[in-house]
Amino acid sequence: MKIYRYPYDQYDRWWWNITYKTWIDDYTNSTVGSSDPEFDPPAVIIQTAALTTSTKDPLNIYWTSNSPSTKFYVVLHIVEIQDILSTDLREFDISCNQRTLFSSINPGVSQIKGLTKDWLSFTATGDTYYLMSLQATARSTLPPLLNSFELYQIPSANGVPTDSGDVTAINAIKENYRVVKGWNGDPCVPTDYAWTGLNCTLYSNVPRITHLNLSSSGLTGAIISSFGNLTALISLDLSGNDLSGSLAFLDQLVALTYL
């Protein structure tokens, strides 16, 4: 089994091929466009797809968990890589454990004609067995299609408070740019998930703020140095605001890979 990771994927995500007897594997040499290329799968991954042999057969993927309290985050990458006829339709519903998540998904015309990649995401918890199913609708003439998917287990902070330095820094940012709404409580504790645009990761069992997206948030004025105190940041997005001043704080963000 070949694993594709860095340098194919700049974030060193691990990708590999899976297939089942009821699947058909397909591939295109054409470039697959995207409206959000930053977190795209590698080209060698998104240029492939799995399909079922008929519209009657669902495209099923399953995984298991040791505990029903475990929470998963799933990302599906879907783009039409076949040059289908104008009289054909590929349309399908997506469910997980018989709960419909997305209805009437239509990848559209072939990416050869200019379709950009699309992606969908959802969270799943409460079970120890998960069955994700892509099922063609009654009017679909083509079977379901899936290019790739990402599966993550969301770590639980178990009530451990966020790193005190991160809390001090993020509260300083909150107070300085008062247009930031809904930020209350501990930023990394699951019960306080009002902190939109912010994601955390456990380091030595202590939650650290690793991703901060304040794009187009109406921030104005000087960039304060408190951003530099979020020393575990991997991704920082301040685009679409009216900010000015020194970027010297970036020297402190040694883990930063996306700006």
Which pLDDT tens digit goes with each residue over 7-57? 998 888 999 988 888 899 998 888 776 656 667 788 888 889 999 999 999
Q: Residue 250 in 3-state DSSP?
A: helix
Query: Band of the pLDDT at 231, cuts 50, 70, 90?
Result: very high
Query: Band of the pLDDT at 190, cuts 50, 70, 90?
Result: low
In DSSP terms, 77 is beta-bridged to 119, 148
**pLDDT at site 84:** 85
Candidates 162, 160, 171; CA nearest to 227 is 171
**pLDDT at site 193:** 45
Residue 107: pLDDT over 90: no
- Using an 8 Å Cβ cutoff, are 72 and 152 in contact? yes
> Among 140-144, 186-190, 252-256, which is the least confidently predicted range?
186-190
Q: How far is CA 116 from the centre of its chain?
A: 17
Average pLDDT over residues 177-186: 73
Helix spans in the chain (H)? 43-46, 164-176
- Using an 8 Å Cβ cutoff, are 53 and 22 in contact? yes
**pLDDT at site 203:** 85
- Length in residues, the chain: 259
Q: Residue 225 in 3-state DSSP?
A: helix
**pLDDT at site 60:** 96
Separation of first and last alpha carbons in the chain: 34
DSSP single-letter state for residue 155: P
Average pLDDT over residues 198-226: 89
Residue 244: pLDDT over 50: yes
Candidates 180, 177, 178, 163; CA nearest to 230 is 163
Query: Band of the pLDDT at 63, cuts 50, 70, 90?
Result: very high
Residue 121: pLDDT over 70: yes
Q: When comparing pLDDT for 183 and 76, which is higher?
A: 76
Query: Band of the pLDDT at 112, cuts 50, 70, 90?
Result: very low
| pLDDT per residue as tens digits for the range 124-174 | 988 999 999 999 999 999 999 999 999 998 766 566 788 999 999 999 999
Candidates 56, 115, 59, 105; CA nearest to 82 is 115
Copy the structure tokens of residue 145.
Answer: 């299609």
Residue 207: pLDDT over 50: yes
pTM of the model as a whole: 0.61
